[in-house]
C-alpha cells in the first residue's frame, strides 16, 4: 500500500510543479505572522457574500468576488477552500492553500481538515504526510477535529501504522475519535481490528454503530452489517436508510423492501434519501406496482421533491418499463444534473428506443451538462440495440476527443455488442485485440452471443478461448459452441461438447421466475 502511495506522489508532483512557487512544505513552515490592517471594516460583508455564492453552488461568482476582495482574512480563504472542496477540485484546493501561505496567514484546524477532505480519493492524497508534519509543528495534532481527518487520510493512502499513531497522539479521546478509528480500519479492510477497537470503545452511540455497519456494507459483508443493525439499541432514519441502501448496493432488493416496511411499522419517518434507496430497490427488481406505491407515499409525506428524489423516480419508472411516466417526471424537474439525464437516456436505451435516447443525449449536450462515463455506456448501448453503427462509432470516438473521457471495459463491451449484432465480427475481434485493458467476461460474452447469432464457428472458438483464460468455463460457452456446430452440421462435435458439459457438471439452466423465488411484496 505504501508503494502505491509513493507512486501517486510522483503523479501529484507533476501537477504541483505547474505552480511557480516553492513546495507545500516550504510554505507551510513559513514563520510570517498575519498582518492586521485597519482597512478591513467591510471584510465581514465580503465573507458573507462569498459564503452565499458557495452555498448556492455559484463557484465562478465566488472566484470572481474572491479575486476582487481588497482584503482577505482566514475566514475568506477557508470559505474559498470549502467551495473548491465541494466542487471536487483538489488541484484548486492545493493552489488556494499555497496562495494563502504567500499572504503570511497560517492554516487553522478548519483549514487542515478541509484540505485533507479535499484530497481523499485523489492523487493528491499523498499530501497527507506533509500536512501531518505541519500539524505536529504547530501543535494541532491533539485537536480531535484534525486527528479524525488525519486518520481518514492515512486510511486513504493505506497506512494503518501511522493511522494508529495519530489516534494514540490525541491527548483526549471522545466517541467521535474512536469512531473515526473504527471507520478508518474498515476503509483499509482491517475488519478484525475494527471489530476489536469497537468492542473496546469506552462509549458507543448511534453514530458508532452506524459507522461499523457501513464498514461491513462497504466491504460486501452484508450479513454482518445486518447483525450489527439488529444489535443496535436505538435506530434513527440514518441507520435505517444506511441498511436499506446497503441491501440495494448488494442487489438484495427484496430484503431492502422488507426492511423498509419494518421501518414504517417502527414509526420512523423516511427522508428523501430513504425514499431514493427504496426506489432503487423497486427499480432493481422491476416492481412497478411497489414503485407506484412508494411514489404515492412520497407525495403524501411532504418530503421535498429534490433532484436526487426526482432522478430516482425517473430511473425507477424507466427500469420498470413505464418510460412515458419517466419522461413526465423528468420534464417536470426544474433542475437536472448528469444523473437525471443518465436515467432518462438509459431508460430509453434499455427498452430499445435508440433514437429517443440519442435525442435526449443531444438535449443534454445543448443544456450545458457535460456527459460522463455512464452517459456513454447508455448512448452506446442504445446504438447497439438500434443497429446504429455509424452513430455508435462516432460517439465512441468523441469520448476522448471531445470530452476527455477514456473508454473503459464497459464501453468496449457495448462496441463489441454493436458490431456483433450487425454481423461485423471482424471489426469486433479487431477492437478486442486493440483494447488497452484486458477484456472481461462481458466483452467475451457479447462476442460469443454474436457468434451464436451469426453462426460463426471460428470467432466463437476465439471467444471461448478468451473466456477460458479468465478461468470461466460457463455453460453458455459450451451451449453456444454446441449450437453453432449443430447449425453447421458438425453433429459429432456438438454431441462431444454436450458430453463434456455432463462430465464437468455444467448444465443448461432451466427457465424460472425470479419474482416467484425471490420477491414477496410488503
Burial group, residue 427, by CB count within 10 angstroms (0-12, 13-18, 19+): middle
User: Which triple of cell numbers denotes residue 25?
Assistant: 512544505
Assessment of whether the complete model's pTM goes beyond 0.85: no
Of 333-337, 450-454, 513-517, where does the model show the most confidence?
Answer: 333-337
Residue-wise pLDDT for 113-130, tens only, equals 888 888 887 877 877 888
**Which residue, among 461, 410, 475, has the nearest Cα to 439 in the 3D structure?**
410
Question: Where does the pLDDT of residue 471 fall: very low under 50, low under 70, confident under 90, or very high at 90 and above?
Answer: low
Measured CA to CA, the distance from residue 489 to residue 451 in angstroms comes to 16
3-state helix, strand, coil in the chain (%, to 5): 70, 0, 30
Domains, the chain, ordered by start: 1-171 (1.25.40)
For residues 454 and 131, which has the higher predicted lDDT (pLDDT)? 131
> Rounded mean pLDDT of 258-280?
94
Percent of the chain topping pLDDT 90? 42
Q: What pLDDT, on the 0 to 100 scale, is given for residue 131?
A: 82
Q: What pLDDT, on the 0 to 100 scale, is given for residue 472?
A: 53
Residue 10: pLDDT above 90?
no
Q: What pLDDT, on the 0 to 100 scale, is given for residue 111?
A: 87
Measured CA to CA, the distance from residue 128 to residue 147 in angstroms comes to 12
Q: What pLDDT, on the 0 to 100 scale, is given for residue 478?
A: 47
Amino acid at each position: 500500500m505504501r508503494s502505491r502511495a509513493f507512486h501517486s506522489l510522483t503523479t501529484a508532483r507533476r501537477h504541483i510543479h505547474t505552480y511557480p512557487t516553492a513546495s507545500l512544505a516550504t510554505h507551510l513552515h513559513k514563520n510570517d505572522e498575519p498582518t492586521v490592517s485597519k482597512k478591513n471594516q467591510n471584510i465581514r460583508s465580503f465573507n458573507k457574500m462569498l459564503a452565499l455564492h458557495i452555498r448556492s453552488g455559484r463557484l465562478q461568482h465566488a472566484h470572481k468576488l474572491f479575486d476582487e476582495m481588497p482584503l482577505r482574512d482566514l475566514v475568506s480563504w477557508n470559505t474559498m477552500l470549502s467551495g473548491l472542496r465541494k466542487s471536487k477540485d483538489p488541484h484548486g484546493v492545493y493552489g488556494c492553500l499555497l496562495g494563502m501561505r504567500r499572504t503570511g496567514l497560517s492554516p487553522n484546524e478548519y483549514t487542515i481538515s478541509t484540505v485533507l477532505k479535499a484530497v481523499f480519493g485523489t492523487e493528491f492524497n499523498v499530501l497527507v504526510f506533509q500536512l501531518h508534519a505541519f500539524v505536529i509543528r504547530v501543535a494541532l495534532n491533539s485537536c480531535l477535529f484534525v486527528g479524525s481527518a488525519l486518520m481518514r487520510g492515512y486510511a486513504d493512502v493505506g497506512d494503518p501504522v501511522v493511522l494508529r499513531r495519530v489516534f494514540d497522539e490525541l491527548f483526549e479521546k471522545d466517541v467521535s475519535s474512536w469512531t473515526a478509528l473504527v471507520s478508518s480500519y474498515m476503509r483499509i479492510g482491517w475488519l478484525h481490528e475494527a471489530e476489536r477497537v469497537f468492542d473496546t470503545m469506552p462509549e458507543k452511540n448511534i453514530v458508532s454503530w452506524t459507522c461499523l455497519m457501513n464498514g461491513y456494507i462497504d466491504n460486501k459483508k452484508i450479513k454482518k452489517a445486518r447483525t450489527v443493525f439488529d444489535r443496535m439499541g436505538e435506530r434513527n432514519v440514518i441507520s435505517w436508510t444506511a441498511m436499506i441502501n446497503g441491501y440495494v448496493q448488494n442487489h438484495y432488493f427484496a430484503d431492502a423492501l422488507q426492511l423498509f416496511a419494518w421501518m414504517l411499522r417502527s414509526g420512523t419517518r423516511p427522508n428523501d434519501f430513504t425514499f431514493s434507496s427504496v426506489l432503487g430497490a423497486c427499480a432493481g427488481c422491476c416492481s412497478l406496482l411497489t414503485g407506484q406505491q412508494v411514489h404515492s407515499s412520497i407525495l403524501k409525506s411532504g418530503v421535498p421533491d429534490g433532484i436526487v428524489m426526482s432522478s430516482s423516480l425517473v430511473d425507477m419508472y424507466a427500469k420498470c418499463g413505464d418510460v412515458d411516466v419517466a419522461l413526465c417526471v423528468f420534464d417536470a424537474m426544474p433542475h437536472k444534473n448528469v444523473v437525471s439525464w443518465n436515467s432518462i437516456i438509459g431508460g430509453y436505451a434499455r427498452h430499445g428506443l435508440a433514437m429517443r435516447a440519442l435525442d435526449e443525449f443531444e438535449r443534454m449536450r445543448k443544456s450545458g451538462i457535460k456527459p460522463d462515463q455512464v452517459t456513454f455506456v447508455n448512448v452506446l448501448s442504445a446504438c447497439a440495440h438500434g443497429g446504429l453503427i455509424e452513430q455508435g462509432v462516432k460517439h465512441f470516438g468523441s469520448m476522448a476527443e471531445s470530452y476527455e473521457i477514456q473508454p473503459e471495459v464497459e464501453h468496449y463491451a457495448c462496441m463489441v455488442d454493436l458490431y456483433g449484432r450487425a454481423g461485423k465480427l471482424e471489426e469486433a475481434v479487431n477492437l478486442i485485440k486493440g483494447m488497452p485493458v484486458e477484456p472481461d467476461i462481458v466483452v467475451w460474452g457479447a462476442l460469443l452471443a454474436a457468434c451464436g447469432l451469426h453462426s460463426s464457428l471460428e470467432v466463437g472458438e476465439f471467444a471461448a478461448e478468451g473466456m477460458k483464460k479468465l478461468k470461466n468455463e460457463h455453460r453458455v460457452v459450451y451451449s453456444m459452441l454446441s449450437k453453432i456446430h449443430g447449425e453447421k452440421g458438425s453433429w459429432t462435435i456438438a454431441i462431444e461438447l454436450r458430453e463434456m458439459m455432463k462430465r464437468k457438471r455444467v448444465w443448461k439452466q432451466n427457465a424460472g421466475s425470479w419474482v416467484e423465488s425471490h420477491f414477496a411484496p410488503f
